[in-house]
Amino acid sequence: MAASLDDIQIETPRLILRLPRIDDLDPWAEMMLDAEAARFIGGVMPRSMSWRGLMTMIGAWHAHGFSMFSVIEKTTGRWVGRLGPWMPEGWPGPEIGWAIVRDCWGRGYAPEGAVAATNWAIETLGWTRFIHSISPGNVASQRVAAKLGSRLLGPGQLPPPYERDVVDLWGQSSQDWAGRGIL
């Protein structure tokens, strides 16, 4: 683990992955008000619920030493999403998840950031396997998972209040990950 949470930052060719902070609330809330962007990540929610979601991520970093990163576009300094390790109580496994603002879809930010976050989770947290919980209708995220080398494991069950959400679990072991040469 880094000496402090402030020391945790990952850079990729186009992105900076850093801990979320309160300054991220405006773009986070905007993403969650976009019906298409929020469709598979809990649906549209008011700013007050986005605040709670952001605080959950910030709190998870302090309580568990990991959570999703804020994704910052290097060229602009703009917040463009959240992604990374995620393991809420009752979750079906350690997850690498992603959510990118809609005007940045198709740029490859989700797989680029997910590769870096997965490497970090394996190297720093010692994860030996990871999943992606993906709605069967979310074809774009299925493509990202496949690009990462994950395979469809079957239907999954999320804990309340998401128990009615239909999700498929995609995933792989850290050995599979290392064998692909992505590390």
Strands 15-18 and 9-11: antiparallel
Q: Which residues of the chain have pLDDT under 50?
A: 1-2, 183
Angle of CA points 69, 168, 116, to nearest 5°: 25
**Tens of pLDDT, residues 100-113:** 999 999 999 999 99
pLDDT at 148 (0 to 100) = 97
**DSSP H helices in 65-147:** 109-120, 139-147
pLDDT at 183 (0 to 100) = 46
pLDDT at 6 (0 to 100) = 83
Burial of residue 31, with CB atoms counted within 10 A of its CB: 0-12 exposed, 13-18 middle, 19 or more buried: buried
Q: What is the model's pTM?
A: 0.95
Task: With beta carbons less than 8 A apart as the criterion, state whether 71 and 79 touch.
Answer: yes
What is the CATH class of 9-179? alpha beta
% of the chain with per-residue pLDDT over 70 = 97
% of the chain with per-residue pLDDT over 90 = 94
